[in-house]
Every structure is written in C-alpha cells, then in structure tokens.
Amino acid sequence: MEQPTFTKYIDLVSERLGGKVLYATDDFFAEKENLIKPGRGIFIPDKYTDRGKWMDGWESRRKRVEGHDWAIVKLAVTGTIAGVDIDTNHFLGNHPPHASLEACHVPEEVGVNQLLVQPSVWTEILPKSPLNPGSQHFFDIESDKKWTHVRLHIYPDGGVARLKVYGEVQKDWSRVKGTEKPDLAAAINGGIALSCNDMFFSSMNNLLMPGRGKNMGDGWETKRNRTPNNRDWVILKLGQKGLIEKVLLDTCHFKGNYPDTFSLCGINSDNNESVTDESTHWTPIIEREKLSADHIHNYEKEIKNKGPFSHVRLSIFPDGGVSRLRLHGIPVFTLNKEI
C-alpha cells in the first residue's frame, strides 16, 4: 500500500519518542501499551496466555453490555496532527468494525484522572469510521490546533495492533533558558530528517530519536556502495535556528559497517526547498573526521563554524551506518534572553 504524504511526519505517540498509553476501558486479551510500539506488530501462531491467544496489539474482551471501549494516549510532545494510521494488522476475526478519534490540549500537570471526569476537554478530530480486518487505515486530519493527548474509540470492542499519530512537534521554546544548550536536531525538539540519498537498511529518522540505538536497525544505514569516492548524505532541519556548540555522533552497534569518515555542513534558510537544490552553498561545520566502530564521538574544538544554522547536512564516506546525531547549541532567540 502506498503511504500517504503525512507519514513523512514524526509519529507523535511513539513509545520510543516518549508517548504513553495512560488508560483503557478494557485490555483483557492484549495490553494497551502495545498500541504505540514500533512496527505493525507480529503474529506467533502457537503463543497463548492464561487469558487466551497472545496478540501484539490492544485487545478488549467481547462486550456483553451497552457501550464501547476506548483508550487515552499521551503524545510524547505537544504537536499538530496531520494524519493517523489505525492498524488492525493480524486482527482478523476480532477487529473493531469502526473507530473514531478525539484530541485535547491540557497543561502538563493535568493527569489521567482529571481527563476521565472532564469530557468537555475532548474534540473529535476523526468521526466514526469503518475499519477492515488486518489492514492499515490512513486518515487525514483537518486541524491546525496543538494537541497533547488523543483518545481512540473502538466500536464496540476488539483489537487494534497499532495507533500512529503523524504530525509536527510544537515545542514550547519560551521555557528554554538562555543558559541551556538543547539538542537542536532532536525529534522531541522539532528536528526533522528531510531527505537523504539512501536509507536501504534503516531510516534516516532514527538519527534524531531519544537514547542510544537499541540495535543495528535503530539507526540510519545505507547500502554498500561500490562507486569510488562515494558520499552518502542526509539533510536535517533543526527544531530551532541556532549556534552549534557541540556535536555528538554515535556509531552504536555499527561494527563492521560504520562509515570510515564523516563531515558536517550547515545552512541558514527560511524554507526546506532550497536546501535540497544541488546549487546550494553549504558552510563547513566539521571537516572530514575519522570514525570508530560502536563508539560515541564528541566534537567541540573541531567545529569550524557555529552558525547560526537552520539545516545541516551529514555526509558519510563511503557508506555505512550511524546510530544517532546530536547537535547541542544555543537557539538564536535566546541569545539576548535574560539569565
């Protein structure tokens, strides 16, 4: 199935980003937390629990009373929602026939107990819509509002493998102090992987995820390139324009396939289109440096130009895998901010 355009955005409820399933009316057969795990879920034919068939998703029991089931999910970070995927993968005779989605925006201190008794905070962003068994269901969301939570309703019961909520991070940068040096490229700070020439083995989006990579698939890895003097590259949009003070490049888990060297360049642009133009001039941030296997590389004195930059281009020579890239720096708007 061809993926809609909105799937290029970040999954705001992803467990690995920091999303949390706070509540479900019922998860008798399969835990609510599975909803936001990576991938589409797996199926193990002969695996059972003391409650029935093990399923990699959220599954409620067969409802014998009026009503329907629902679950509340907290976004990893406040964001605008462009589209959602309600995936019933492997749920064939036990999927819900319909689903709908609500969202709300509440302060950080509001807990799940308050959400349960304040129905007025919720706004419907997806009306009751039909679902098929074992399928991905992509829905565009027509809203430019900022949200902190979503509530998935299923009618009347059943199983959903995954819920993915694609959108843009809307970080409250006003809370950033002038003394802080946040990771300007981090996904949770609004960093976006815009484009790359190759991601055969694993996605460029992994570069910006929290923590260290959990395995070799949790990074950006290109195929083996036999072209002499090859360079693979990825372009990242920073969450905020800023001065880059410290660079961290992690080749965690990449041992026989890490790049030999890398370089980093930057540009200050007000749009994403110009940065992918081949004629665009990039300013060197770090000249070519050797890399080591399965290692955290830190750079400060090697930085030739701090910017400010809005986008960066990471180049690796000749090919290989990088787990994470961190670009700690000073957002431009905080330069004159009182400490």
Q: What is the pLDDT of residue 133?
A: 98
Give the number of domains in the chain. 2
Helix, strand, coil shares, percent, the chain, to 5: 10, 40, 50
Q: What is the pLDDT of residue 1?
A: 65
Q: What is the pLDDT of residue 266?
A: 97
Residues 106 and 235 in one domain: no
Cβ neighbours of residue 170 closer than 8 Å, sequence gap 6 or more:
77, 78, 79, 80, 146, 190
Residues 226 and 197 in one domain: yes
Residues 318 and 186 in one domain: yes
Q: What is the pLDDT of residue 315?
A: 98
Which domain-ending residue is among 169, 191, 210? 169
Residues 165 and 303 in one domain: no
- Whether residue 279 is contained in a domain is answered as yes
Residues 165 and 188 in one domain: no
Residues 214 and 147 in one domain: no
Element (H, E) at 166: strand 162-169
Residues 243 and 319 in one domain: yes
- Whether residue 29 is contained in a domain is answered as yes
- Whether residue 284 is contained in a domain is answered as yes
- Whether residue 113 is contained in a domain is answered as yes
Q: Is 283 exposed, middle or buried (0-12, 13-18, 19+ CB in 10 A)?
A: middle
Q: Is 120 exposed, middle or buried (0-12, 13-18, 19+ CB in 10 A)?
A: exposed
Residues 185 and 251 in one domain: yes
- Whether residue 293 is contained in a domain is answered as yes
pTM for this one?
0.91
Nearest to 13 by CA among 144, 147, 109, 108: 147
- Whether residue 339 is contained in a domain is answered as no
Q: Which single residue is written with the structure tokens 């959990």?
A: 214
Residues 265 and 283 in one domain: yes
Q: What is the pLDDT of residue 172?
A: 85
CATH label of the domain that carries residue 86: 2.60.120.260
Divide the 339 residues of the chain into consecutive groups of 10 and give the mean pLDDT of each group: 88 96 97 96 94 96 96 97 98 97 95 91 97 98 96 98 97 80 96 96 96 95 96 96 97 98 96 82 96 98 96 98 97 70
Tokens at 22, concatenated: 């706070």
SS3 206: helix
- Whether residue 19 is contained in a domain is answered as yes
DSSP conformation letters of 210-272: SSS-SSTTSSEEPPP--STT--EEEEEEEEEEEEEEEEEEE-TT-SSS--SEEEEEEE--S-S
Which domain-ending residue is among 152, 169, 186? 169
Sequence-ordered alpha helix ranges (H) in the chain: 112-116
Residues 146 and 9 in one domain: yes
User: What residues make up the domain containing 285?
Assistant: 177-334
Sequence-ordered alpha helix ranges (H) in 56-131: 112-116
What does the pLDDT look like over 111-123, one tens digit per residue? 999 999 888 899 9
Residues 98 and 24 in one domain: yes
Which domain-ending residue is among 169, 193, 226? 169
Residues 43 and 157 in one domain: yes
Nearest to 163 by CA among 88, 238, 69, 251: 88
